[in-house]
Amino acid sequence: MAEIFNSPFRPGYGVRPLVLGGHQPLLDRVQAIFDHGDIAGLNAMLLAGVRGSGKTSMLSEITERAETAGWITIGTIASRGFADRITSSTVPKLLNDLDNPARLRLKGVNASLARMVSVDLERIPDRKAIDTLADDLITLARVFPERGVLITIDEVSKVKTKVEEMTQFCNEIQIAISAGVKILVVFAGIVTEIDKLVTGPQLTFMQRARTEPFYLFDFDETQRVLRETAGTGGRTIHADALDYLARASQGYPYLIQLVGDEAWRHNQSSPVIDADAARAGATSMMQRIENEVLRRTIQDLSAKDREFIDALADQPDGPVKMAAIVSAMGKSSSYVEQYRLRLINSGYVIPVDKDGSLRHPDERGAGHVAFALPYLREYIRRLNEGRLPASPPMNRGQFPPPPIDLA
C-alpha cells in the first residue's frame, strides 16, 4: 500500500504555520531578549499589517519562544475590558499554578496577592483590576527574579479598544518597567487601526514601540515557505509547480498555506508535487477563497462601499488615482473620502503611492488606492461581467502575476 503523506500546510487565520515567512530579524531580536534578558529599551513592539498577513501567527511564535526560555506569558485580545481580564483572571490563574516554593516566596513578597492562591477563580473578590496591574507584575518579578514577562495583545483597534483603557494599561506597564520588571509587550492589529489608536498624546508608550510591518511576501520568500513546508512533510515540489503555486498565492500568507494544502492533497501518495497537482491545488484555492473570503467580503459591503469598490475595479490594473474614483462615482472628493477611509479601515483597500508602495491612510488629497486582497478585483469584475473587458490580473510590483489560467 502506497504511503500517504499528511499535509504540513496549515490554512486558517491565526493558525501558526510550520515554516514562518519573513521577519527573521524580528525573531532574532526577540530570541536574544528571551535568552539573555537584554531588552535594551525595547519594551514594546507593534505588529501592523493587513488581514491574513501572519500577525497572529507571529504572536503565537513569539509566545512559544518566550515560554521555552522560561518567561511568564500573558496573552489577550484588545477588546473592551482587556486590562481588567489580565488582573482579575489571568494573573490569579498564574498564581494558582505556582509550586509550593514559589507560593512561599509569594507570601513573603505580597501577602494580599498570596491570599488569592488556591481560591476558586469564580469566587475571587472583585478587584479594581487596572490599578493593580503594576503591583501584580512587580510581585511576579520578585517571586521569579530570573524570569521576564511577555504580554501579547492582539486585534488592537480604535473601534474595539477604549483609548482610556489602553492609556491606563500602558501607564501601569511603565510603572512596572520603572520598578525594574523585564517586560516585553507585543501589540498586533490592522495597520490603519493601530495608527488611529496611537495618535493621541496619552499613548507615548505605544508611540515609542518598534513597528514591524506585516504585508505580503516577495516571490523568493514565498517559494521558500512553500518548498520548506513541503519538505517538513517529506515531499518535494517540482520547479514548475513551485513557480505556479507561488504566483497563485501572490505572496499572501494565508493563500500560501491554502494553495500548498490543496496541491498537497492531489495525488497524496506521490513524493513529488508536480505541475498537475499545482494546477489542481490552485483551482481548488480559487474556489475556496471565492466562497469563504471574496463572496463574504462583497456581502459585508454597504451599497455605497460597493459603489466605491466597483469604481476601483473598473479602472485599469495597478494603483488607481483617487481622482478617477471621484469621477466614476460622480460625487465630491470629501464624500468619496469617507468611503475610502471606511474601506481602508475594514482592510479591503490599501492606500498606496503610484509605484504601489504603502502610504499613510490619513494623507488626504491626491493619492492612489489598491485592493488589499489578492483576486478581489478580478472577482468583482466577473460579478460585473459585461461592464469591462477581460484583462489579466494585476502585477504586484516585482511579484510575477498569477498564472493566466487563474484569471
Convert the pLDDT of each residue in 275-323 to its tens digit. 999 999 999 999 999 888 888 778 878 889 999 999 999 998 889 999 9
Convert the pLDDT of each residue in 166-182 to its tens digit. 988 999 999 999 999 99
CA distances from 67 to 4, 71, 73, 151, 224 (A): 34, 5, 7, 12, 27
Burial of 90 (C-beta count, 10 Å sphere; 0-12/13-18/19+) = middle
Lowest mean pLDDT among 67-71, 135-139, 216-220: 135-139
pLDDT at residue 354 above 90? no
CA distances from 312 to 78, 255, 328, 329 (A): 32, 23, 9, 10
Cα atoms found within 13 Å of the Cα of residue 130, Cβ hemisphere only = 13
The grid cell for 23 is 521577519
Evaluate if pTM is beyond 0.85.
no
For 24-214, which CATH class? alpha beta
Q: Rounded mean pLDDT of the chain? A: 82
Taking the C-alpha atoms of residue 325 and residue 331, their distance in angstroms, rounded to an integer, is 9
Query: Cell 488606492 appears where?
Result: 369
Convert the pLDDT of each residue in 3-33 to its tens digit. 678 999 999 877 889 999 989 999 999 999 9
219-298 CATH fold: Helicase, Ruva Protein; domain 3 (1.10.8)
In the three-class reduction of DSSP (H, G, I as helix; E, B as strand; rest coil), residue 358 is classed as strand
Query: Which CATH number is correct for 302-393, 1.10.10.10, 1.10.260.40, 3.90.180.10, 1.10.1750.10?
Result: 1.10.10.10
pLDDT recorded at residue 27: 93
pLDDT recorded at residue 92: 66
More confident residue, 294 or 97: 294
Convert the pLDDT of each residue in 107-128 to its tens digit. 545 444 444 444 443 333 444 4
Name the residue ranges covered by the structural domains of the chain. Answer: 24-214, 219-298, 302-393
pLDDT recorded at residue 2: 56
The residues near 373 (Cβ < 8 Å, ≥ 6 apart) are 51, 52, 252, 293, 294, 297, 347, 348
Degrees (nearest 5) of the Cα angle 265, 377, 355?
110
pLDDT recorded at residue 118: 44
CA distances from 230 to 1, 261, 334, 389 (A): 22, 9, 49, 38
